[in-house]
Structure 1
Amino acid sequence: MSGPPPRVTTGDDGGSPPESVGSDAGDAAPPDPGRIDTDRRPFVLVWEVTQACDLACDHCRADAQPARHPDELTTAEGKQLLEDARSFGDGQLVVLSGGDPLVRPDLLELVEYGTERGLRMTLTPSGTASLTPETIAALADAGIRRLALSLDGASAAAHDDFRGESGSFEQTVAAARAARDAGIPVQINTTVCAATAGELPDLRDLVADLGAVLWSVFFLVPVGRGRVLDPVPPERADEILNWLSDVGEESRFGIKTTEAPQYRRVAIQRRRDASDAPEGDGIGRRLGITAGDGFAFVSHTGELYPSGFLPESAGSVRDGDLVGLYRNSDLFRSLRDPDGFRGKCGACEFRHVCGGSRSRAYAHTGDPLASDPLCPYVPEGYDGPMPAGRAD
């Protein structure tokens, strides 16, 4: 297959990495994940500043509630977390997620604080009436570098039904246009499950129409309220990943897959012999970003998780050892060693460039090192057990 590789990256989040592709106008490019030693620092650090949110989305990882939790990190503790994040290195990307971050009255203060200290501050707000043009302008003034907004349907009927709130679609679309007018690059996040897969072609057109710089396509992990949704079957997931590869080759916006690191296997299989897999992923770098390996998540109460979809704590950042926990905890170190993965993921020749979703493995088995049930690929000669929870 000729032509350039698609502009696709992969992440593993609970608040998708809003700066995985491209750079902001007038700014230096964000750190290249291929040049970051993910044993030493995450490419993406997500802080779930609150679980509070006015929406009741079907897939919500956070089981968001209307009221804020009394044990949330305080403003002072949040500022200390941002100070600690500076120790990872220059230009650390920090994603403020939720719930809905706008519920916190100190949000602008936290954005300004992080920006003043050289952090790349980005935001994943909910599509509610609180996301006004005035709020977006204030976020721009505070230094926000990217706004990630969620659209799970290409129409008000489809999106609002999934999000559990009438008017969310129109509010989200209006916010995307207001952010673009304010000079804030926009990312669109979409959840892929059985209920939304048919919306993807129309969503692609909407993402282009909104002038988004990145489309983050997240494959459902059954945690939180998402446990009641049906995932797409493994073979259908591969079809979607192949389709996304085509979209990436023809679109002006970038594409990022989340909780679907097998995109890298798909990319390799489309472009070259799989025997070269350990040397490169076919899309411009040696390794991707997955739970605990280039990605870290701080909960609203200060627990450090490999991902928002992998709620196994390595410890509390309230103890002041964010960097040490990321670098040295047994949990994070095990997730950075694909040779220790179990089942067909551990036997797969693509394990060093894919490795499967550790979050999905954990959700289905309680073992973050188990095989990912969404991937249909079976390594040649493998005759061991198949992943638990396979959708087919």
Structure 2
Amino acid sequence: MPPGTLDTSKRPFVLIWELTQACGLACDHCRADAKPQRHPDELSTAEGKALLEGAAEFGDGQLVVLSGGDPLVRDDVEELITYGDDLGLRMTITPSGTGSLTADRIESMADAGLKRMAVSLDGASPASHDAFRGEDGSFEETIRAVEDARAAGLPVQVNTTVCRQTVEELPAIRDLLTEIGAVMWSVFFLVPVGRGRVLEPVDPERADAVMEWLAEVSETEPFGVKTTEAPQYRRVSMQRRAERAERAGDEPDPGVKRRTGIVAGDGFAFVSHTGEVFPSGFLPESAGNVRDRPVTDLYRDSSLFQSLRDRDRLSGKCGACPYRNVCGGSRSRAFAHTGDPLASDPLCPFVPEGYDGPLPWDDADGETRGVSSGD
């Protein structure tokens, strides 16, 4: 179901459950700052099934992503997939590219009712990917897992982190996705949380340029393209369509006034390994715990989630932006930089026409940069 057809005040388009933070990798960008050992207070199998029952209350076909850490550290994954599938949930998983992701495990998850598997590729070669992941052999393990998933009839999504260390790899990764038969490319623009604090993001102008390129990729490649923590992709795409319409003498798309798309807390929710409910895994401010309140109540009724769904409460240039209803900015990145999830997203270079307030990249000497609405 496309995000624009979903009432995101009632249900999320994506509900992620972090089964564990345990993982054998030490990836540079890791949000969870994962460790080898499992946490003793993880949701149990019974508590996990109760969470899935709660997720089913959002409505038929709710998308649930089992995440980590490495979720395959747990031995109840297939049991949870079957339970969720029987409840009518669309169960998917994002395992780590390690030896735990065997052909037998992939086949057993497919038999249990898994609908899609996502793997991470942050480089198009063993050297670049393994260096980013901090584990020799991770690239080959990931490619093997993709082949095993396809043999089991599982569609494969590829997740890629965009930062200064990876951005030059994107064209080669695009070519690799076509070669391995991926159905979706999810491109994550770095948010400085966890170990990701040591990485360098691309600058705002480069981010817009990458998104323009991704819009072209989405029109020419056989796989779909979506962005994570980069809702300005929708603004870039709309501006691109408007420029085309102007050249063709057509009417502009009126969609700028519609509230569409998803951001943290608005169409998106994250349940941690210990049951805390966050707007996103990259926005570590809890609305409560599923051990105390149903996930439906926390998503629909908590003041945190309600504030994130009210685009008129955004501050700074995001609050003044004519695209705020279709974009809304990354609330996670705003929180990471300012401690305020309603502040402006510092990755977006767009400056609304007539806006003369503070800019998130203002230097101490007052110098600013950005792309105005008139450019």
- Cα deviations across residues 198-254 of structure 1 (Å, max 9, x unaligned)? 000000000111100000000000000000000000000000000001111101100
Describe how 1:93-172 pairs up with structure 2 within 5 A.
Answer: 93-172=63-142
Look up the match of 1:302: 275
1:333 alignment partner, one of 306, 325, 328: 306
Shift, 1:172, TM fit:
0.2
1:280 alignment partner, one of 255, 264, 272: 255
Look up the match of 2:345: 372
1:346 alignment partner, one of 313, 319, 326: 319
**1:362 is aligned to 2:335:** yes
CA distance in 2, matches of 1:359, 1:328: 20
Residue aligned with 2:335, SS? helix
Conservation of the 8 A alpha-carbon contact between 1:289 and 1:295: yes
Q: Which amino acid aligns with 2:174?
A: R
Conservation of the 8 A alpha-carbon contact between 2:256 and 2:325: no
Q: Which amino acid aligns with 2:45?
A: T
**1:228 is aligned to 2:204:** no
Residue aligned with 2:168, SS? helix
CA distance in 1, matches of 2:31, 2:179: 28
Identical columns (%)? 69
Look up the match of 1:16: none
Aligned length: 360
CA distance in 2, matches of 1:47, 1:229: 25
Conservation of the 8 A alpha-carbon contact between 1:146 and 1:185: yes
Conservation of the 8 A alpha-carbon contact between 2:259 and 2:326: yes
Look up the match of 1:44: 14
CA distance in 1, matches of 2:63, 2:21: 21
Conservation of the 8 A alpha-carbon contact between 1:186 and 1:212: yes
Conservation of the 8 A alpha-carbon contact between 1:61 and 1:225: yes
Shift, 1:47, TM fit:
0.1
Q: Which amino acid aligns with 1:102?
A: L
CA distance in 1, matches of 2:319, 2:294: 31
Structure 1 alignment gaps of length 5 or more: 1-30
Residue aligned with 1:300, SS? coil
CA distance in 1, matches of 2:129, 2:256: 33
Shift, 1:281, TM fit:
5.7
What TM-score results when the alignment is normalised by the length of structure 1?
0.89
Describe how 1:191-340 pairs up with structure 2 within 5 A.
Answer: 191-272=161-242, 279-280=254-255, 287-340=260-313
Q: 1:222 to 1:46 in 2, by over 3 A?
A: same
Shift, 1:389, TM fit:
8.1
Q: Which amino acid aligns with 2:274?
A: T
- RMSD between aligned residues: 1.9
Conservation of the 8 A alpha-carbon contact between 1:265 and 1:354: yes
Residue aligned with 1:47, SS? strand
What TM-score results when the alignment is normalised by the length of structure 2?
0.93
Conservation of the 8 A alpha-carbon contact between 2:265 and 2:309: yes
Look up the match of 1:71: 41
CA distance in 2, matches of 1:225, 1:388: 22
CA distance in 1, matches of 2:3, 2:28: 32
Q: 1:278 to 1:67 in 2, by over 3 A?
A: farther
- Cα deviations across residues 331-352 of structure 1 (Å, max 9, x unaligned)? 0001001111000000000000
Runs of 4+ in 1 over 6 A off after TM superposition: 389-392
CA distance in 1, matches of 2:188, 2:5: 24
CA distance in 1, matches of 2:259, 2:218: 19
CA distance in 2, matches of 1:388, 1:305: 26
